[in-house]
Amino acid sequence: MIEPLGTGRAQLQMQRRTLDGPEPVSKTDLATNTLRDQIITLSLEPGYNIDEKFLLSRFDFGRTPLREALNRLIAEGLIESRGSRGLRVSPLNLSNTRELFDAYILAERMVASVLVFNDDGLVSDLLDIQKTYEAHTQSVDFLKVTKTNAAFHNRLAAATQNAIIARYSEQLTNLARRISFYIFKSEFGREAPNRDLEERLFQRPINEHQGIIDAIEATDRDQLVELMTNHAKYFRDRLRKLIGGSAPCDLDFTIVQER
């Protein structure tokens, strides 16, 4: 049985465990967060065959916390089980990336369509997250940028006050973080820092987040749906620009690994 989501603020409390708040409360939390970050930053690259002995030698987790962390990441979709062939980091290719974007865009429209405007503390929470997001863009910390962006969108999903929608949206947002990190690193690595680059990477998302907050304050449903849909499509279009006319094969992540 799925437990009720409760208030948006209660959901936010759970999400903040993975933000810049208190340290993880258990070894399993620490192992989960560390491995998730390794996958998001592509240090454990798509398709990597999980080697427990290697991970135990590299990180001081302990076997039980490691296995519990792997199970959590399987549930999140970042790791997949292949039965007798063991575990691997979920691959990324053009086909499943297109599927992810299709689902992500639809999920954002769904969230915008049913979001409860008077959800307790929604606007103030979004403004707090937005300040943290801006701080991380100024320090050019892409991992924290993607983490805080996920918190922003998960808070919106929590404001639907629908547990199923919130969990579905949160899973898609978490999966999209890996692609977002790749986009940031790739765009940042292809040209010298300049105003146009900063606009594409940071200022436009900041402005779009603020527009979403403004639409919520104005209780303008049509504007909110349009803004959240276009925001998701812009994310997709940035990846399209990067890969150009690539053939339908595995994406090349070497540009990230070399930097």
Strand-pairing partners, residue 88, are 49, 80
Fold of domain 21-89: Arc Repressor Mutant, subunit A (1.10.10)
Q: CA distances (Å), 65 to each of 32, 55, 89, 115, 214, in order?
A: 8, 12, 18, 36, 42
Beta-bridge mates of residue 49: 88
Rounded Cα distance, 50 and 86, in Å: 7
- The tokens for 153 are 């969108």
| pTM over 0.75, yes/no | yes
d(CA 211, CA 227): 7
In 3-state terms the chain splits into helix, strand, coil percentages (rounded to 5) of: 70, 5, 25
Find where tokens 């399209």 sit. Answer: 240
Of the two residues 52 and 256, the one the predictor is more confident about is: 52
Instruction: Identify the pLDDT of residue 195.
Output: 62
240 pLDDT higher than 90? no
Residues 197-204 have a mean pLDDT of 74
Which range has highest mean pLDDT (13-22, 103-112, 169-178)?
Answer: 103-112
Q: Using one digit for the tens of pLDDT, what is the confidence trace for 51-77?
A: 999 999 999 889 999 999 999 999 988
Radius of gyration of the CA atoms of the chain, in A: 18
Tokens 């399987």 belong to 74
Give yes or no for residue 46 having a pLDDT over 60.
yes
| pLDDT tens string 210-223 | 999 999 999 999 99
Mean pLDDT of the chain: 83
Torsion of the alpha carbons at 36, 188, 238 and 102, rounded to the nearest 10:
0
- Give the model's confidence band at 249: pLDDT under 50 very low, under 70 low, under 90 confident, else very high: very low
**What is the CB neighbour count within 10 angstroms for residue 243?**
13
Question: What is the C-alpha separation between 55 and 74, in angstroms, rounded?
Answer: 16
CB 136 within 8 A of CB 145: yes
Q: How far apart are CA 88 and CA 19, in angstroms?
A: 25
What pLDDT, on the 0 to 100 scale, is given for residue 192? 58
**CB atoms inside a 10 Å sphere around CB 218:** 11
Higher-confidence residue of 6 and 118: namely: 118
The CATH classification number of 94-257 equals 1.20.120.530
Query: How many angstroms separate the CA atoms of 73 and 65, rounded?
Result: 12
Coil, strand or helix at 34: helix
Domain limits, the chain: 21-89, 94-257
> Can you list the positions of beta strands (E) in 86-139?
87-89
